A = this chain, B = another copy of it.
Amino acid sequence: MKKIKVIQFGLGPIGLESLKLAAEQSWLEIVGGVDIDPAKVGRSLADLTGVAALAGARVHPTLEALFAAVGKPDVILHTAGSSAATSFAQMRPALEQGVSVASTCEELIFPALKTPEIARDYDVLCRNSGARIAGTGVNPGFVMDILPICLTGVSREVRSVYVERVVNASTRRQPLQAKIGSGQAPDAFRAKFAAGKAGHAGFQQSVALLAHAMGWKLDEIRESCEPVVATSRVVTKFFDVAPGQSLGIHQKCVGLSGGETKIKLDLQMYLDAPLPHDAIVVKGRPDLNLVLNGGVAGDDATVAALINIVPRLLAAAPGVRLMTELAVPAWCNPAGPAV
């Protein structure tokens, strides 16, 4: 089997994790990276990741510079932001040349929700060039959308879908603990969430993807987020939270159709959250009640989802693709994936 040539776009913590996992795959050939950080441009990927095998691959400041230096890859692993509009624009030079993109961009889980015209334009562009672009991840991208959707594959009838996820943020990396408002004053966090600058990204996209897969036209998607406030001191590796300060978030998102709540997602992500788990309840025929004890750990699993999507993405028809249009997700054996 011919190796799939990949590049890593975005060399933050998730991008570097993605590179390390990609480097373990015998079926992938990493030919370079792209990052705007002048401190990274020109350095070797071995230097940035500690993976000696990547010594020959370097960081370029732009896609154009990378293409000029090493030629076109087959796929770009994109880990550079949450906005679909920005991600599309970043990937334009690649998509125009028929290079496909697997992305952790949260809004790309369902890009038609916030940017329908842009999604349509890029879909046309991709169909013309032969490229595919799709967003993936754990949440959004799996626990609260693809996994419940897959579960309904055995449903005769689905009346509603409920998913809850409880994450113990104490076990997660510093940026995540910061993002959920750890140690902040609850009102300061509320103001940030209201301004769209805090909270879990991609929640509404999960609701939209679920509704799309179930064939439900939603009248409204409602989202809310409240800080979880410490009642006693909580100390993690990164934060020391006093009583009255925020420990994290309790975020909810519902999808309504004809006055009925068809979809309800409930996310609790805070320091020292007890009993972390993911749970899915499908009301229908049959009723389905799924629990993932301990939940799906985020960061490890996010880069796994990104790498695992690659062969499925390349097997799909050109266009802006949804995860529901790709073959069933599955782990890719480093020795070579089944697809």
Contact = CB atoms under 8 A, between A and B. Distances in A.
A235 interface: no
A69 interface: no
Q: How large is the interface on A (under 10, 10 to 19, 20 to 34, 35 or more residues)?
A: 35 or more
Interface string A232-270: 000000000000000000000000000000000000000
Interface in A283-299: 284-294, 296-297
A300 B154 CA distance: 8
A305 interface: yes
- Identical copies of this chain, number: 2
Given A290-B291, A324-B327, A327-B326, A338 B153 contact: no
A338 B112 CA distance: 14
Contacts of A309: 153
A213 B332 CA distance: 8
A98 to B, nearest CB: 20
Question: Which secondary structure dominates where chain A touches chain B?
Answer: mixed
Contacts of A333: 158, 214-216
Given A215-B338, A326-B328, A332-B215, A153 B158 contact: no
A303 B215 CA distance: 19
Contact of A336 (B147, B157, B215, B336): B215
Nearest to A291: B291
Interface in A17-59: 21
A338 B213 contact: yes
B214 A331 contact: yes
A2 interface: no
Contacts of A308: 152-155
Interface in A84-143: 138, 142-143
A61 interface: no
A286 B300 contact: yes
Closest 4 CB pairs of A and B: A153-B329, A215-B333, A152-B331, A154-B301
14 contacts: A21-B156, A146-B153, A147-B151, A149-B328, A149-B330, A150-B330, A152-B329, A153-B305, A154-B305, A156-B300, A156-B307, A213-B331, A286-B296, A290-B290
Interface of A: 21, 138, 142-143, 146-147, 149-158, 212-216, 284-294, 296-297, 300-305, 307-309, 323-333, 335-339
